[in-house]
Structure 1
């Protein structure tokens, strides 16, 4: 009889349910439908960044430029809309996010600079671009149709939530059902072994950072559309911090090769719920960073411990195998 196995995301999903129940008890207004939709809408930007971060983390990298990407693409969209229709301006802005991600991937693969250093540097570049363009001033968006991206609703559900759901399903299918998606996991698990198995590490690396760049660009459009203002500081708050926390808490390993899109999305909802719940309870924003920081620390500690156990079991298995003496061949009996 085939044994039933719970999904890997069961644990974090149960934690999310407990958090939702506790916050609903502490504040009845937290459990309302209106607040639930607001929570999902506010969490859409973080979730998009976490989705892109998932691809990068699965390859064993990290993208620190995502928050700055939100600011850059949002301001670029606002500037371009002064001369172009908003759909064209939006596509070009997301294209700029894509270029940022591709540049990250190219430098990491060909120049062999660690992802932390590369994305930290491009974070500075992406932060400076909107400041240079606008002179540190905000730019109002005049085209009313652009508001549909961040403020529109379909059957009462915010459009950003629907966009996120479609993107998450597509990303999950890609990672689990396509050869290139499997290569993403393989390159994060062991790059040397993956290369020997025929995986094109160059394509995988550039793809992962390109996806992160596109997700950052879409998040920038959503944030700018909600405000209808291109603000150079948008996305430079806790967005990067929260996106990494969402992915890690959702089971995506910082060491690469382990994790799922579903887990990252549950993690994003958990982070958004904690942040929203603390706002509803009038808890100071300073405490929010402390709580999210502890969540990241616990998530990384658990991930390290889990990998240590698996490595230990593998080591013991290899040791026990090597200690077994080879069986001696029987000598032929004399006739």
Structure 2
């Protein structure tokens, strides 16, 4: 029996190939300083991709992640003016969770399309920081807040360590807990999972809440690195990068398929491509085009894979009906 090669292996190979090509094109790409910049910038993309993974696995999508970065980052900056840095962290995480819970609740309990709901909260979350500050930036009031984005442990930047811890925790959640099984079940077949007793509402709300937490972590990292809260933070390509990273990493847009490891590798690939284009000197307006092509290729591959899976499934059931009365040799019987 042949063993299927995991999708993560192919993605890892692509990452190594892209990095090798960029290293040949530009010696500056393979410097230690550039590697640190790549990892720091990739940390935000990685967090957003991890959160987006949970949402996509349930068959949804979260368009509010970019503005959630601005909202949570601004909340953290404002909180440091009146409270210690750790209180600001908790406040930002609480706001991120709140945005996610609102998204998930509206989607499940009011049966609204995820695209519409998260697009609406995208606008709301983007406007609140502008309203609170009059579209002005806010300097962080506690210098210890820099620990999140500027410190390092044994030479490893803190944002990278935070991503690693989150990826391990999320992998355990998806692979070794009943909640993880339910996430895949809801995305694979919502009706079947409902009949099996899975509480879909809780699963969907949890998925969007985790996406909100990850966006809040992105907001904390951005604000900590700059030590300034910007109301326009996250308004760039972060949203598209998160979706591209997850899809390229093998997470299906149709739900029920994907892994944390794949999404993390997808984030590394997107960060490598973006960083490489900057180092090589490609104009910034070319980058959305390249990322758009990557998303398109990922969607095409995902759709093709899904078609093949459905075709194999129908073929399997077709064969099964012909041998119901006489089970194949070696097949388990009831």
Q: State the TM bucket, normalised to the shorter chain.
A: over 0.9
Q: Who is 1:301 aligned against?
A: 300
Matched, 1:209 2:225: no
Q: How does 1:275-290 map to 2 (within 5 A)?
A: 275-290=274-289
* Farther off after superposition, 141-150 or 126-135: 141-150
* Farther off after superposition, 86-95 or 161-170: 86-95
Q: Who is 2:229 aligned against?
A: 230
Q: Who is 1:218 aligned against?
A: 217
Q: Who is 2:116 aligned against?
A: 117
TM-score (norm: length of structure 1): 0.95
Q: Tell me how far apart the structure 2 counterparts of residues 282 and 251 of structure 1 sit (CA, whole Å).
A: 29
Q: Tell me how far apart the structure 2 counterparts of residues 276 and 296 of structure 1 sit (CA, whole Å).
A: 17
Deviation at 1:325, TM superposition (A): 9.3
Q: Tell me how far apart the structure 2 counterparts of residues 148 and 80 of structure 1 sit (CA, whole Å).
A: 16
Q: Who is 2:313 aligned against?
A: 314
What SS does structure 1 have at the residue aligned with 2:308? helix
Number of aligned pairs?
326
Q: How does 1:39-188 map to 2 (within 5 A)?
A: 39-188=38-187
Q: Who is 2:262 aligned against?
A: 263
Q: Who is 1:292 aligned against?
A: 291
User: Alpha-carbon deviations, 1:205-230, whole Å to 9, x = none?
Assistant: 01000000011111100000111111
User: Alpha-carbon deviations, 1:198-254, whole Å to 9, x = none?
Assistant: 111011001000000011111100000111111001001000010000000000000
User: Alpha-carbon deviations, 1:292-328, whole Å to 9, x = none?
Assistant: 100000001000001001111212232344466968x
Q: Tell me how far apart the structure 1 counterparts of residues 198 and 16 of structure 2 sit (CA, whole Å).
A: 39
What SS does structure 2 have at the residue aligned with 1:9? helix
Could you say if the C-alpha distance between residues 194 and 325 of structure 1 is closer, same or farther in structure 2, counting changes exceeding 3 Å?
Answer: closer
Gaps of 5+ in 2: 327-334
Q: Who is 2:271 aligned against?
A: 272
Q: Who is 2:332 aligned against?
A: none
What is the root-mean-square deviation in Å for CA atoms of aligned residues?
1.4
Higher radius of gyration, 1 or 2: 1
Could you say if the C-alpha distance between residues 175 and 325 of structure 1 is closer, same or farther in structure 2, counting changes exceeding 3 Å?
Answer: closer
Q: Tell me how far apart the structure 1 counterparts of residues 147 and 68 of structure 2 sit (CA, whole Å).
A: 21
